[in-house]
Amino acid sequence: MKTGRIPPTGFGRSTPEEDLKGCVWKAFFRRFEWRTLGKIDFCLYRPLIGQPGEFISLVWAEAKKGQADLLEALVQLVFTIGRERTFDRYQPPGLLAAFNSERIAFVPYETVQAVFLQNDFNWNVAPSDHTTKEFRQLAGLVGESLQREAMTFHFAQDEASLRQFIWNNLGNAAEGVARVEVDKNNFKFIYDRWVACVKGTIGVDWDGLKAKGIIDGDFFLADLLSEDNLTLREKLFVLLRSDRYVLNRRVDETGLFAENLAYFTDGQAAHTAFWNRYARPPLEVYWDYMVDRRDLLVPPDIRERKGAFYTPQQWVELSQRYLAQELGENWQEEYTVWDPAAGTGNLLNGLTNKYNIWASTLDRQDVDVMRDRITNGANLLESHVFQFDFLNDGFERLPKELKAIVDDPERRKKLVIYMNPPYAEATNARTKAGTGGNRPGVATGHQIRERYRAELGRASNELYAQFLIRIYMEMPGCIIGEFSMLKTLQGISFAQFRQTFQAKLKSIFLIPSSTFDNNSKSNPFAIGFKVWNTGIKHQLPKKIHASVYGLHGEQLPNKQIFTTQGKPLLNSWLNRWHDLKNSSLGLLTTRGQDSQNQGIVRIQHLPSNGTGHAITLCNLIPYAVYFAVRLCIKRTWLNNRDQFTEPKKGWRRDVEFQNDCLAFCLLHHKNLIRADEGVNHWIPYTEHEVGAKEKFQSHFMTDFMAGRLWPNRRVCEGLFDDQHCIVPREALAFSAEAQALLDAGRALWRYYHAQPKANPNASLYDIRQHFQGADARGNMNPTSTDTTYNALNDARKEALEALAVKLAPKVYEHGFLEE
């Protein structure tokens, strides 16, 4: 199709996707090769000259017919890449794209590449199903970035601009290239390929080197930043020298220079073959980025233990503005700044007075990286950069000038400890569930932990708590500017810590953890930058006002953080309703009492991770209230650590609220009661209502809802001290929202019971399992091939969401959450 001949409406809304791909290629990209790439619809690529079958991707795209939403298509493409891990097998392109019959949208690959680094997102669902919670989750993580970065063109109306864009960004790529250029888009991918192809041919003990803080990434950087097999940056921890690596350069005890050498085990054959594909060195504009982002090459266990975390520049700049607001415009001239967890020093970017800046880090190679950065213009002094283990070394090992400040109470008043310490915790979910031990080497085994175990209490499992307690106890009077989670303010495990750590909180802002590429993208939480004055003893107030900033630095409405000091928490209230006397209807499983543990709350027959509480006639209503309160407000990065507290007494008089909670509990997908694990007492309908072919095994729930179990209330006497059981004496009256949910559920049950061989005692879980099935690992599929069922189940979800919206204000009104 010639220029200017694109139809005004594009390529026809009814054009099938396969035909559409051919039309788009022929009209705009015929100078390039194209193919499908695994599950990726459309891959533009260029061949590698002299390497048959080898190619470099230029664009990965998702094709959609008609006027499909391009943002959703881009999210689907990202999901496909993440699920298939295409970036492990093929070098990522510079651009991602999505197109429909009328438009095409491009985004840089680097916009989304950080999302692929996480390891706790469930990629194992169909990317094409846009109704799954995982798809919505991913859209929440990358959608805003995609929307902001997308360059969208109408095929007809913007034809000239589109062709110019293609020329500017793809240029002469159709001619092919001899070697692949390395840039910040493919830097991590090429490292992964290097690990697979070259690492095994280097004759070293990798575990032994890792114990000394040397990683395979140091060898990769030595290779990458080289020319003719000679490393160009002398300050790297490992250097390539022709046919060998040089490392651990030092002056020995005799005063002579010494070094260790590592050789190739295959005569350097794999190394040569690998680097024949890639151009070295990269453009010099990328060197600092690649050295600074050494953290991307650090193995996960070391990242976790040592805190190889990279603070995004937008938060570095914002934190320095907050320090200036608290300490004055000339604070950098008046205060000494020490970052005791400096890593490669990026937190210190932007500071201007290098004579007042000190940086220490656990690893020798990070010291070398910082000193190399100094050679290349970083605003630091070599003598102020040093190796120091803050959680084990004594202050006698500090440089003399810095030690003099630390030892002097008056000079400490002008000392700022400025840091983003590691957030690693010794415990994990398995530890808390009693099925695993503390993770070795994480938070445990440090001298500071042992020295201040009593002051730390349960917070001793947290590395950043150990940093804070040492500063507070051994450097009183100094200022602390630190990035950390909100457990210091809200966490139950930090109660003892807060009794000791009573510095004055001067200011705080909150940012999403998902902006830090080492942190979880699927379960983001708030990271706070807090400025403390340790010279002023001050207990935390009940309410803290925090500024809030979004993914791209935009200011959001302020957040009120409630410290819940001295207030009973929700699980204490729950425990008052324990009933071990009467027959159990199922178990309410819980963990913690904050929003981050929302995923553990469920109802089931059999015990699992978490604490199980027996549900009986006597405590069904309060347990249903607990279930609904914990689940009706969606977890976000900002409310992730909010603590649920014991409610006010008003909830007891709010019968509509109680009934709403029961309906929510009965038809929520976290009600996992199964007929094959015990008697199903949770069917809220009669056999006649749902057209069951046989009698139900239990009529408990319909009897309860009809008030017919009131005479049985005597079994509850004396169970709950001053609290009275809640057994209805008359039929429950439901709100319009709750009734709509029950009606949606009834329609779902009726459709199920119309199926052959329907189990009369089937639960909501059983019905969903019947239609949706399970994957090879036994996990329920996200949707069904039965469109009628999907529509009925979607109606249930919509009604459940409407009821959740109604319940949320009551959660605050009755004091389950502070507002």
Is the CB of residue 725 less than 8 Å from the CB of residue 618?
Answer: yes
Tell me, yes or no, whether 259 and 368 share the same domain: no
Q: Tens digits of per-residue pLDDT, 329-343?
A: 899 999 999 999 998
Q: What's the rounded Cα separation, in Å, for the pair 146 and 114?
A: 13
Q: How confident is the model at residue 615 (pLDDT cuts 50, 70, 90)?
A: very high
* Predicted confidence (pLDDT) at residue 209 exceeds the cutoff of 70: yes
Q: Which residue has tokens 């999901």?
A: 79
Name the amino acid, one letter, at 807.
L
- The pLDDT of 69-74, averaged and rounded, is 92
**Statement to judge: residues 657 and 631 lie in one domain:** yes
The tokens for 569 are 């928490």
Look at residues 153, 175, 197 and tell me which one is the last residue of a structural domain: 175
Among the residues of 266-330, which ranges form H helices?
Answer: 269-275, 287-292, 300-306, 313-327
- Residue 355 is given by DSSP the state G
Collapse the DSSP code of 661 into the 3-class scheme (helix H, G, I; strand E, B; otherwise coil) and give the result: helix
With vertex at residue 461, the alpha carbon angle to CA 460 and CA 467, rounded to the nearest 5 degrees, is: 60
Residue 171 pLDDT: 67
**The one-letter amino acid at 439:** R
**304 pLDDT exceeds 60?**
no
The reply to whether 466 and 593 lie within a common domain is no
Give a yes or no: residue 11 inside a domain: no
Helix (H) or strand (E) holding 62: strand 55-63
- What is the Cα–Cα distance from 118 to 519, expressed in whole angstroms? 7
Q: Is position 1 within any domain?
A: no
- Determine the Cα angle at 555 with ends 553 and 558, to 5°: 135
CATH number of the domain residue 517 falls in:
3.40.50.150
Q: Cα–Cα distance between 463 and 111 in angstroms, integer?
A: 31
Range of the domain at 615: 570-813
Find the range with the poorest average confidence among 122-126, 170-174, 329-333, 808-812.
Answer: 170-174
Query: With pLDDT > 70 as the criterion, what percentage of the chain qualifies?
Result: 90
Q: Report yes or no on 7 lying in a domain.
A: no
Domain shared by 49 and 71, yes or no: yes
Whether 498 and 457 have beta carbons less than 8 Å apart is answered as no
Separation between Cα atoms, residue 449 and residue 323, nearest integer Å:
29
230-231 β-sheet, strand order: 226-227, 230-231, 238-241, 244-251, 257-263
Residue 765's Cβ-count burial label (10 Å; 0-12, 13-18, 19+) is buried
Residue 683's pLDDT is what? 97
- Give the amino acid at 207: D
Q: What is the pLDDT of residue 440?
A: 42
By CB neighbour count within 10 A (0-12 exposed, 13-18 middle, 19+ buried), where does 714 fall? exposed
In the prediction, which pLDDT does 290 show?
84
Query: In terms of domains, do 283 and 347 share one?
Result: no
| CA separation for the pair 506, 390 (Å, rounded) | 24
Percent with pLDDT over 90 in the chain: 53
The rounded distance, in Å, linking the Cα atoms of 494 and 94 is 45
Whole-angstrom Cα distance, residue 327 to residue 334? 9
For residue 281, whether the previous peptide bond is cis, meaning omega lies within 30 degrees of 0, is: yes
Angstrom CA distances, 762 to 589, 616, 697, stand at: 21, 20, 10
Q: Is residue 303 part of a domain?
A: no
* Rounded distance between C-alpha atoms, residue 550 and residue 540, angstroms: 25
pLDDT by residue (tens digit) across 435-446? 333 444 445 678
Cα 323 from Cα 482, distance rounded (Å): 10
Name the DSSP letter for residue 540.
Answer: P
Residue type at 162 in one-letter notation? L
pLDDT of residue 436: 36
**Domain ends where: 535, 562, 589?**
562
**pLDDT band at residue 467 using 50, 70 and 90 as cut-offs:** very high
- Per-residue pLDDT at 320 exceeds 60: yes
Among 111, 69, 77, which Cα is nearest to 94's? Answer: 111
Q: Is residue 10 part of a domain?
A: no
Model pLDDT, residue 628: 97
Give the pLDDT confidence score for residue 432 in this predicted structure. 36
* pLDDT > 90? residue 172: no
Q: Are 186 and 193 in contact (CB under 8 A)?
A: no
Higher pLDDT, 786 or 236: 786
Would the pLDDT of 211 be above 90?
no
The pTM for the full model equals 0.70
Q: How far apart are CA 137 and CA 521, in angstroms?
A: 9
pLDDT tens digit string along 765-792?
Answer: 999 999 999 877 788 888 899 999 999 9
Report the pLDDT value the prediction gives residue 795, as an integer from 0 to 100. Answer: 96
Evaluated on CA atoms 139, 145, 147, 152, the torsion sign reads negative
Q: What is the mean pLDDT of the chain?
A: 87
Residue 626 neighbours by CB under 8 Å, 6+ apart? 570, 574, 588, 590
Helix (H, G, I), strand (E, B) or coil at 800: helix
Residues 169 and 251 in one domain: no
Do 144 and 229 share a domain, yes or no?
Answer: no
Last residue of a domain, one of 546, 562, 578: 562
| pLDDT at residue 1 is higher than 50 | no
Give which of 729, 740, 741 is closest to 671, Cα–Cα.
741
Kindly tell me if the per-residue pLDDT of 188 is higher than 90: no
Which tokens sit at 211? 């114990």
Q: Got the DSSP string for 420-440?
A: -----BS--HHHHTTSS-PPT
The helix or strand, by DSSP H or E, that contains position 765, with its residue range, turns out to be: helix 764-772
For 538-575, the pLDDT digits (tens) are: 999 989 999 999 988 889 999 999 987 678 899 999 99
> Is residue 28 helix, strand or coil?
helix
- Please, are residues 483 and 515 in contact by the beta-carbon 8 Å criterion? no
**Sheet with 479-485, edge to edge strand ranges:** 385-387, 357-361, 336-339, 415-419, 479-485, 526-537, 503-512, 543-549, 555-562
More confident residue, 389 or 368: 389
237 and 98 in a common domain: no
Q: How confident is residue 299, by pLDDT bands cut at 50, 70 and 90?
A: low
| Euclidean distance between CA atoms 751 and 695, whole angstroms | 17
Report the alpha-carbon distance of residue 48 to residue 341 in Å, rounded: 43
What mean pLDDT do residues 44-66 have?
85
Cα(550)–Cα(512) distance, integer angstroms: 7
Shared domain for 674 and 527, answered yes or no, is no
- What is the number of structural domains in the chain? 4
pLDDT recorded at residue 120? 62
Q: Let me know whether 717 and 784 are in one domain.
A: yes
DSSP 386: E
Q: Is the pLDDT of residue 408 over 90?
A: yes
Pick from 22-26, 439-443, 750-754: least confident: 439-443
- C-alpha span between 185 and 92 (Å, rounded): 7
Alpha-carbon distance of 658 to 666, in angstroms, equals: 13
| Four-CA torsion 272, 274, 277, 281, nearest 10 degrees | -70
- The residue among 139, 143, 133 whose CA lies nearest residue 801 is 133
Q: Do 582 and 468 belong together in one domain?
A: no
Residues 327, 260, single domain; the answer is: no
